[in-house]
Copies of this chain bind each other. A is one copy, B any other.
Amino acid sequence: MTQSSVALGNDNGNGNVIRLAVSTVIFALRPAKHPSKKWDIVMPVVLRTRDPHEGKWALPGGWLREDEGLAAAASRTLAETTGLHPAYLEQLYAFGAVDRSPTRVVSVLYWALLRADAVQQRATPENVEWFSVDGLWGLAFDHDEIVQYALWRLQNKLDYSGIAQGFLPELFTLSDLREVHEAVLNKPLDPANFRRQVEGSGEIVPTDQFRKGSHRPARLYRTNSEVALASHGPLKPDTQ
């Protein structure tokens, strides 16, 4: 990283710079309209009120400030645009294609899962809409591609982490968890096979509590916190 490479790098000697933005993909569940599943996966997008892409919907985000880390900037811009405050934002990917914006902008994407009650806690600003991710196209910039990548990561992570529990309260039944998997994978799952796989994964721990309802009582489970913590890896929060 020499001084000359600085001139060649982020400032090509003509005053142009590469600007750094952060954006956030928030996934939440909403009761499905279609009878074949219980939940739709929805996400908040913000109406752009000026060019570029004025009038299009875009992921919540904004510019990174010099005095804040990437995750802090993601949290701040998400709160400023949508009023949402997820407990934990995970870095998704840095998108830096030269032509993704009229000016050169590299966007570091974060993502989080929100429980339904966390969404309903506060009123949504009028320029924010929650759309189902099924067939969600026509977003600003390369945000269509970002959403598809985030969905792929979410589906991919179902197989080897306890991420699905991010949609659920602390205690949940196996049916609750299966219905989340069905929403993410967008297909029905066999209850018996699902029970075998999840109980074998060590992701969740049975409690001695049951949910009583119209059917026979269903055992309540909680997330295996050891597995959940491991999935964050060795990064300290201030690294993000």
Residues on A facing B (Cβ under 8 Å): 1-2, 5-6, 8-12, 16-21, 50, 61-70, 91, 93-98, 104-106, 108, 142, 145, 148-149, 152-153, 156, 159-160, 233-236, 238-240
Q: Cβ of A106: which chain B residues have Cβ within 8 Å of it? A: 20, 64, 70, 108
Closest B residue, CB atoms, query A100: B239
**In the bound complex, CA of A6 to CA of B66 (Å):** 11
Would you give the shortest CB distance from A46 to chain B, in whole angstroms?
A: 10
Closest B residue, CB atoms, query A103: B6
**In the bound complex, CA of A64 to CA of B96 (Å):** 10
Q: Are B97 and A94 in contact (CB under 8 A)?
A: no
Q: Cβ of A240: which chain B residues have Cβ within 8 Å of it? A: 96
24 A-B pairs (CB sep. < 8 Å): A1-B61, A2-B50, A5-B62, A5-B63, A9-B20, A9-B64, A17-B17, A18-B64, A20-B20, A67-B98, A69-B97, A69-B98, A70-B94, A91-B93, A93-B235, A94-B94, A96-B108, A97-B239, A106-B108, A145-B234, A149-B234, A149-B239, A156-B233, A160-B160
Q: Cβ of A97: which chain B residues have Cβ within 8 Å of it? A: 69, 238-239
Q: Cβ of A104: which chain B residues have Cβ within 8 Å of it? A: 66
- In the complex, besides A10-B17, A70-B106, A153-B233, 18 extra interface pairs with C-beta distance below 8 angstroms are A1-B62, A1-B63, A2-B50, A8-B63, A9-B19, A9-B62, A10-B20, A11-B17, A12-B66, A20-B20, A20-B106, A64-B96, A69-B98, A91-B94, A142-B239, A145-B239, A152-B233, A156-B233
**In the bound complex, CA of A1 to CA of B59 (Å):** 11
